[in-house]
Amino acid sequence: MLKSILSKINLFKEKRMNENQQQSLGDASTAIQAGGDVHYGITYTEARSIALDVAKATFYELTGVAKETAGIRVEEITEQVLKKISETNPEHLNKAVDPDFQFALSTVQKEYARTGDKDLGDLLVDLLVDRSKLEKRDILQIVLNESLDTAPKLTESHLAALAIIFLFGYTQNHTIGNHQILGEYLDRFVMPFKEKLPTNDAAYQHLEFSRCGSIMSFGERNLEQIFGMTYQGQFMKGFEASVLESMGIPLALYNQYFIPCLNDLTKLQVRANSQETLEKFLNANVLLSEDIKNKIIQLFNTNKMTDDEIKQKVTLLRPYMTQVFDVWTTSSMKSFTLTSVGIAIGHANIKRFSGEFADLRIWIN
């Protein structure tokens, strides 16, 4: 079967060479041969043929109904993979002839043939499509290959935990500028997982066993504190406008660095969500003195909500967050740190429900 695949790949290459050689160019002319969409290299049909041959070459021989069921599932998941690659980056159909990609593809085919789990299939497809975008062997490619092996060992509860830990522990959305946007953000990225979060220790022990992360023996991350640091600007009590004058902050800076307090419109607050973004904002103004910068940072860290008040505010915005806070507090979620594989799977699981997310290279590079 391996010889058959190699022979088919060579046949496709020879076919492409012959097609190129048959083109006739006049002076200063350009010829493009196309039947439907123009692809440089392997076509969708050719990639599909190779991909199905990979499945036949690598699977155990099954019999009867099991063989028929597995065959249907393999075709289904293969079509899903190639369709998504074709829609996003059709030139990556050339990966069909890459040995490492074929190994990754065979993992996806095998796992979906075994279980027929639609959710798992969608997750594996997203991971493999991300893998197809990589042109060379690097740390991200290695992590995605490992993630394809690891994801089938996890349940929906495990996947939900990885998504939420990744979202709150490793990301920050810089577009959140008010409570409405914060609520919409939670609806999109948290609500799909809230009913699936595991509370039992065994779930997090299994994630640790699967090399998705580790349970810290000391120290934990309070979810209220994470909100308070990552989105601090959403949880300010504000200060009187007279404070700016008493601190010697020029009136000309009021509109640039201050807004009405989101939680009390009679007061002001600093225009920033976190101290990190505030410092970048301030440092971008080369005319601003260090004294004024320090005073604005001082105001940013003045009169903040307590942890209890932050929790109350978030759950007032979205009542279902009460459940998320409870699971985080009572389970090992609060002390779980992710490995690169855990990050990749958590990232892919969020993309599965939201449709898009920031590039994985932000976290793995």
pLDDT tens for 67-98 read: 788 888 888 998 898 888 888 888 888 877 88
What pLDDT shows up at residue 74? 87
SS3 state of residue 338: strand
In the numeric block, which tokens belong to residue 35?
């039947």
In this prediction the pTM is 0.82
What pLDDT shows up at residue 315? 98
What pLDDT shows up at residue 257? 96
Tens digit of each residue's pLDDT (9 = 90 or more) over 303-343: 999 999 999 999 999 999 999 999 999 999 999 999 999 99
What whole-number percentage of the chain has pLDDT above 90? 62
Q: Which residues, other chains included, contact 254 with Cβ-Cβ below 8 Å and sequence gap of 6+?
A: 244
> Average pLDDT of the chain?
86
Q: Is the distance from CB of 128 to CB of 325 less than 8 angstroms?
A: no
- Residue 229: pLDDT band (50, 70, 90) is very high
pLDDT tops 50 at residue 121: yes
pLDDT tops 50 at residue 102: yes
- Residue 150: pLDDT band (50, 70, 90) is very high
When mean pLDDT is compared across 37-51, 159-173, 243-257, 295-309, the lowest value belongs to: 37-51
Mean local confidence (pLDDT), 150-179: 96
**Domain residues of the chain, as ranges?**
2-23+30-135, 156-228+308-362, 237-303
In the numeric block, which tokens belong to residue 317?
């915005």
User: Could you give the CA distance from residue 176 to residue 161 in angstroms, rounded to a whole number?
Assistant: 23
Q: Which residues, other chains included, contact 148 with Cβ-Cβ below 8 Å and sequence gap of 6+?
A: 104, 107, 108, 124, 127, 128, 131
Tens digit of each residue's pLDDT (9 = 90 or more) over 172-204: 999 999 999 999 999 999 999 999 999 999 999
In the numeric block, which tokens belong to residue 77?
């998941």
SS3 state of residue 138: coil
